[in-house]
Amino acid sequence: MTESAIKRVLQRWQLAAPRQYVVYAAAILIFGLFAVVLRDDGFVTASNLLNIGRQAAPIAVMAVGMAFALGAAEIDLSIGSVAALSSLVVADAVGSFGFAAGVAITLAIGMGIGAVNGVIAVKVRIPSFLVTLGTLGIVSGVARNLNNLQSLPIRNDTYLNVFGAGSLGPISSLLIWTVIVGVVGHLALHQLRWGRHVLAVGADRSAAGALGIKTDRVRITALIASAAAASLAGMLLAGRLAIGRHDLGENLLLTVIAAVVIGGTNLFGGRASVAGAIAGSIVMAMLNNGLILMGLRVADQLIARGVIIILAVALSMREQKET
């Protein structure tokens, strides 16, 4: 390697290193820490690691969708409620219309909510933060009314195999879904015109508009993507527990936002990372799992998680500002 080539590589690494790799360093660090601290509580056992993976899957799926919403300088606060509603809808629809139609209907309803979010945010010019806060309430209410706070059992074997406890060979179907969503998201972000336009609109909407990018369409589709991912996550949660319930995934919003931001996506648009979002989801799932193994009560877990999230996001945002 010539001297200038070495310099180039170093420059590139310096440029990319901080924000892109902080999440992977964090994942390794936290894993190492828990492996030592919780060595007698079974953190590093096959069954516990599998458990972490199962917890991370729905977070990761939602996080990939959220990366697009945040990348476009929007935010979708309704994802938890969309996941919960989707779990109920799919439980009902798969029972009534069969596997394929049930899944399709559920996904369509999820994407419909995303479209409503997007169209109101763009056309009525209300910040997506407020629009999705509104739909969060509406969708949660609808989910609660749907089956009177009762859970709906799912008895469709195909569904439970594809979305829940099933596996392809030794690989759990939850993991497969996570990989599929991750690959599709990564390709959409980096290899498709749409992905570049999402970031352009998120970085500078008026500049993107001046170049003829249809910013309205880009913002609406980004919110549809996030709702679609939330809907899929709801179906995964339903598959894992074999029920639909009004509160499945409802409390994941903050966890998902933290996972995405730790993963290197800018909270204010223009920069997004799908791989980082997935790594961030694993970090959050490990934290969740570790806190439980430490024997913290639910109340203390909430407090600890809140503190950790604020710290983690603050750290990764400082990195982002510096570059």
Binding residues for another protein, how many (CB under 8 A)? 26
Q: Does 168 bind another protein (CB under 8 A)?
A: no
Given a contact cutoff of 8 angstroms between Cβ atoms, the answer to whether 106 and 231 are in contact is yes
CA distance 118 to 276: 25
Rule CB under 8 A: which of 137-156 touch another protein? none
CA distance 18 to 278: 17
Q: How far is the CB of 79 from another protein (least distance, A)?
A: 24
Among 45, 145, 191, 251, binds another protein (CB under 8 A): 191
Among 193, 298, 299, 321, binds another protein (CB under 8 A): 193
Among 6, 10, 15, 50, binds another protein (CB under 8 A): 15
CA distance 262 to 284: 9
Among 207, 303, 307, 314, binds another protein (CB under 8 A): 207
CA distance 53 to 56: 5
Q: Hey, how many other C-beta atoms are within 10 angstroms of the C-beta on 322? A: 8
For another protein, which is the closer residue by CB, 75 or 131?
Answer: 75
Q: Does 10 bind another protein (CB under 8 A)?
A: no
Given a contact cutoff of 8 angstroms between Cβ atoms, the answer to whether 74 and 272 are in contact is no
Among 80, 234, 270, 290, binds another protein (CB under 8 A): 270
* Of 108, 137, 130, the residue nearest 227 (C-alpha): 108
Given a contact cutoff of 8 angstroms between Cβ atoms, the answer to whether 240 and 222 are in contact is no
Among 6, 28, 211, 310, binds another protein (CB under 8 A): 211
For another protein, which is the closer residue by CB, 169 or 212?
Answer: 212
- Burial (CB < 10 A; 0-12, 13-18, 19+), residue 292, is middle
Q: Does 9 bind another protein (CB under 8 A)?
A: no
For another protein, which is the closer residue by CB, 36 or 207?
Answer: 207
Q: Which residues are near another protein by CB under 8 A?
A: 8, 11-12, 15, 191-194, 196-197, 199-200, 202-204, 206-213, 266, 270-271
